[in-house]
Amino acid sequence: MQVKIFSLDELCTLTDFPKRTVRYYIQLGLVDRPIGETRSAHYLDAHLEQLLRIKKLTDAGVSLERVREVLSGEVSPVSERQRRPGSVDVKSHLFISPGIELQISPEQAGMTPEQVRALIKAVMVAAQKVLEGKGESQ
């Protein structure tokens, strides 16, 4: 599986946050630190998902203190919005084999990054078994 890597500029473009805000959220511990240091620092899908979740909550008027609680596993005070034409929804796509892909929206599924990784591993194992003809007979 190929991991998408983002620069700080790309992350800011995707989230509509200024660099200063992203750095502030990292300093507060709301967003994980980047991989690497200085100009070689980069970000992953998990960073993007954290920032989009923070954006959703802060746009709804949730305080940063409450955002921290929600990111730590408490129930979100903001319900999911209905999708509208033109809205942006970030999803992870797992390429399993030609013609087979899995689309995951961790936030909608209420999954942590660890749960997403566990799901991906389980799907890859199951797919390999089926493709090799070792899957369960019906």
| Closest C-alpha to 55, from 83, 88, 33 | 88
Look at residues 41, 71, 101 and tell me which one is the last residue of a structural domain: 71
Residue 138: inside a domain = no
Does a structural domain hold residue 56?
yes
Please provide the DSSP assignment of the chain as one string: -PPP-B-HHHHHHHHT--HHHHHHHHHHTSSPPPBSSGGG-BB-HHHHHHHHHHHHHHHTT--HHHHHHHHTTPPPSSPPPPP-TT-----EEEEEETTEEEEE-HHHHT--HHHHHHHHHHHHHHHHHHHTT-SPP-
**15 domain residue, yes or no:** yes
Q: State phi, psi for 75 to the nearest 5 degrees.
A: -65, 135
- If asked whether residues 50 and 105 sit together in one domain, one would say no
Task: Tokens for 87, please give them.
Answer: 């809205």
- Give this prediction's pTM: 0.55
Mean pLDDT of 104-122: 75
Determine the Cα–Cα distance for residues 62 and 45; give it in Å rounded to an integer.
23
Classify the C-alpha dihedral 6-7-12-18 as positive or negative: positive
Domain-embedded: residue 81: no
Specify the pLDDT at position 30. Answer: 93
* 61 and 17 in a common domain: yes
Confidence of residue 135 (pLDDT cuts 50, 70, 90): low
Structural domain including 112 reads 92-131
Residue 23's pLDDT is what? 93
38 pLDDT more than 80: no
**Domain CATH for 43:** 1.10.1660.10
Residue 78 lies in a domain: no
